Amino acid sequence: MTVYFVGNLAAGFSNSIIQLIVCRGIAGAGGGGISSMLQIMISDIVPLRERGKYVGISAGVIALGYAFGPIIGGVLAEKASWRWCFWVTLPLSVVATIMAMIFAPFKPMSGGIVQKLKIIDYPGIVLTLGGCTLIMLPLIWGGITYPWNSVIVLAPLCCGVFVVVLFCLWEWKVAKLPIVPMHIFKHVTVVGVYICMFANGFVFFSALYYLPLFFQVVLGYSPTYSGTFLLPVVMSQVVSSLTAASIAQSTSKAVMVVLMLLTGFGNGMTMQTTTVAAQASVARKDMSIVTAVRNFVRMLGGAIALPVASSLLNNAIRDFMKNLGFPSSTISPVIDKPSLLNNPSAISSLSISPSQAADILSKGYTKGFRDVFLLNAAMSATATLMHKESSFGAVSSEISMKAFRPKKQTLNMIYTKLMYDDWLQVANESGSEFQC
């Protein structure tokens, strides 16, 4: 939580895009740790048969943030400054930290912090970050900044694949305490969960970003008003978590709301089922690992979705405007800032007539968004097929984990014992000398 707080605080004071990206990365690291730790705590404290309910509740609470975040962010961006989109999280972080200290008072663990830091798989972390970065950068550049067959695109893409392979070999053969133990992939259900969550992140985060953009660019809505159209997606995700392809300009608001309700229900229903399925497939010592990797894979899907969807959308606009005879000097400003097409003085300076601007909005951008949404549909179909082939069955009574059901002991006592056992096992397996 401290890392998340510092990252958002610094991001609000950023004076360049590089500073903003770095600070946002720091905040993202903290946020990712919070998300994983929440599910790990649930898996340690709650019996497996009842775990789905609590994972669903946590997913519903997170979805509430997705629901109101875009609206609050749109209002702040319009009425105040984009910096407040980061600073508004600061008091919430303080409140959350205080509540965690009160309701989850973790006891200090024996063993020095230096010894514990020594067993972290730092080469694995570097290889993970390097491989993901090398793969995502060419996806951003391809067809927009550089041609797809350019060496600048192909070279980092090939290097990224090589680094990912190197990471797998390192984790399999060399790392003493791997961040992603390769033996977890022998479980068909775990592999199926990861594929489903990659598709889930791909579809959800691309929709979270491109649906408001569709409403702003094609329909001309304000950022605040377009943010309200995400409510059906995330609010239906809340309901489905607790209980559990194209949009043309002529489509009515009611139809769009219904379609987004379906999107939210589908996303919400995969959140808690995949977590429980993955945890039920491995030994307790691997629960925290499979949970953290599940969250990472979902975020990776979202990270890859944005550049891929951006490439589809921008290439569709570029091809459409080229067919109308516009030069690159006119196309590039429109791609960089689509809102120019709704500004009469801006389109006049670009030598675009009002009728041509209307065509670009109604046909060009609609074609691009259609490609994005069809790709999301294909990813959803892939996840559905993988879910069907994987053994996402009912939880067996043999692994109901009644031993972990809290009786007279407090949850803090149980959780402290579990953490002690985990660190003891880590120390024994890694050969570390520190005492747990």
Interval 280-326: pLDDT, tens: 778 777 887 888 888 888 888 888 888 888 888 888 888 888 888 88
Note the pLDDT of residue 272. Answer: 65
- CA separation for the pair 377, 385 (Å, rounded): 12
| pLDDT for 355 beyond 90 | no
Burial of 430 (0-12, 13-18, 19+ CB in 10 A): middle
Note the pLDDT of residue 239. Answer: 53
H, E, C per residue of 142-185: ECCCECCCCHHHHHHHHHHHHHHHHHHHHHHHHCCCCCCCHHHH
Note the pLDDT of residue 159. Answer: 94
Instruction: Establish if 156 belongs to a structural domain.
Output: no
Lowest mean pLDDT among 61-70, 83-92, 147-156, 236-245: 236-245
Note the pLDDT of residue 236. Answer: 56
Q: Which residue has the tokens 């020095």?
A: 112
- CA separation for the pair 423, 207 (Å, rounded): 40
Q: For the chain, what's the residue count?
A: 436
Question: Which tops the pLDDT comparison, 241 or 214?
Answer: 214
Instruction: Establish if 2 belongs to a structural domain.
Output: no
Note the pLDDT of residue 165. Answer: 94
Based on its alpha-carbon atoms, the radius of gyration of the chain, rounded to whole angstroms, reads 24
Note the pLDDT of residue 265. Answer: 57
Note the pLDDT of residue 397. Answer: 39
- CA separation for the pair 274, 296 (Å, rounded): 13
Q: Tokens for 191?
A: 């592999």
Number of folded domains that form the chain: 1
Highest mean pLDDT among 19-28, 74-83, 388-397: 19-28
Lowest mean pLDDT among 325-334, 340-349, 419-428: 419-428
Note the pLDDT of residue 164. Answer: 92
Number of C-beta neighbours around residue 105 at 10 A: 10
Instruction: Establish if 384 belongs to a structural domain.
Output: yes
Instruction: Establish if 332 belongs to a structural domain.
Output: yes
CB 130 within 8 A of CB 114: no
Q: Which residue has the tokens 């600048």?
A: 152
Instruction: Establish if 22 belongs to a structural domain.
Output: no
Question: Which tops the pLDDT comparison, 391 or 193?
Answer: 193
Instruction: Establish if 282 belongs to a structural domain.
Output: yes
**What is the maximum alpha-carbon separation in the chain?**
76
Lowest mean pLDDT among 109-113, 138-142, 202-206, 211-215: 109-113
Residue 215 pLDDT level (bands cut at 50, 70, 90): confident
| pLDDT for 46 beyond 70 | yes
Beta bridge partners of 142: 146
Roughly how many angstroms between the first and final C-alpha of the chain, as a whole number? Answer: 25
Model confidence pLDDT, tens digit, residues 95-117: 988 888 887 766 666 667 777 77
- CA separation for the pair 154, 150 (Å, rounded): 6
**Mean pLDDT in residue range 196-201:** 85
Instruction: Establish if 175 belongs to a structural domain.
Output: no
- Distance (Å) of CA 55 to CA 41, 261, 274, 289, 390: 10, 21, 10, 16, 20
Q: Tokens for 378?
A: 């294909």
Q: Which domain holds residue 294?
A: 196-401
Instruction: Establish if 416 belongs to a structural domain.
Output: no
pTM: 0.66
Residue 169 pLDDT level (bands cut at 50, 70, 90): very high
The proportion of the chain whose per-residue pLDDT surpasses 90, expressed as a percent, equals: 6
H, E, C per residue of 353-391: CHHHHHHHHHHHHHHHHHHHHHHHHHHHHHHHHHHHHCC
Beta bridge partners of 146: 142
| pLDDT for 401 beyond 70 | no
Computed over every residue of the chain, the mean pLDDT equals 74
- CA separation for the pair 152, 355 (Å, rounded): 38
Note the pLDDT of residue 399. Answer: 42
Model confidence pLDDT, tens digit, residues 413-436: 433 444 444 444 544 544 444 333
